[in-house]
Amino acid sequence: MPISLHSAVVPTMLQVLGAGHGWIDKAKAHGLSEEALASGCLIEDMLPFAYQIKSMAHHSKGAIEGLRAGVFGPDMADPPTSYEGLHAKLTEAEEFLRALDPEELDSLVDDPMRFEFKELKVPFTTTDFLLSFSQPNFFFHATTAYGILRAGGVPLGKFDYLGVMRTSQA
């Protein structure tokens, strides 16, 4: 039985977006100030935690909006820098994905679209865009956000990264 594009992408994004709330809460409980949380990074030439959270939302909600529009590009807006703002960014993406009609997403399979940034224009099909560009970027930013907190001493483990898994009831 073939898997739908919606099933291949949306539930796992929701899982990791939900986990992101737990990372933020643990950072707060660990005593990280909002400034330290938002500006934390792994190395000087890498973008900070707040950007990573913003990018998780952009490569989930923003990616679907890009499919609808036929074009996707980076979100150049400043990221939120407060605990509340970071949670809101994740929640906005979660609510969008939960409201997404699976049939709508699946109806877009293999439509043409492109990634654009300045002069760069990369053509994709919607399926290849989600599975080879946005989904890997989503996980890159999630892993980087998690790594920033771990490097900062926040007591996170693998199950914190995974969030609530979809398990069988058997």
Chain segment 45-79, per-residue pLDDT in tens: 999 999 999 999 999 999 999 999 999 999 999 99
Question: pLDDT tens digit string along 134-167?
Answer: 999 999 999 999 999 999 999 999 999 999 999 9
**Is the model's pLDDT at 170 over the cut of 70?**
no
Residue 83 contacts residue 28 (beta carbons within 8 Å): yes
Work out the mean pLDDT of the chain and round it to a whole number. 96
Q: What is the pLDDT of residues 83-132, one digit of tens each?
A: 999 999 999 999 999 999 999 999 999 999 999 999 999 999 999 999 99
Determine the angle formed by the axes of helices 5-29 and 49-57, rounding to 10 degrees. 150
- pLDDT of 168 reads 87
Helices (H), the chain: 5-29, 34-39, 49-57, 63-69, 83-99, 102-107, 126-129, 135-151, 158-162
The β-bridge partners of 124 are 113
Give me the CATH code for the 11-162 domain, please. 1.20.120.450
Q: Hey, where are the domains in the chain? A: 11-162
Predicted pLDDT of residue 169: 74
Q: How far apart are the first and last CA of the chain?
A: 21
Query: What global pTM score does this model have?
Result: 0.95
Q: CA 70, CA 73: separation in Å to the nearest integer? A: 11
CA angle 9, 122, 66 (to 5 degrees): 45
Q: Whole-angstrom Cα distance, residue 104 to residue 62?
A: 15
Cα 56 vs. chain centroid, distance in angstroms? 2
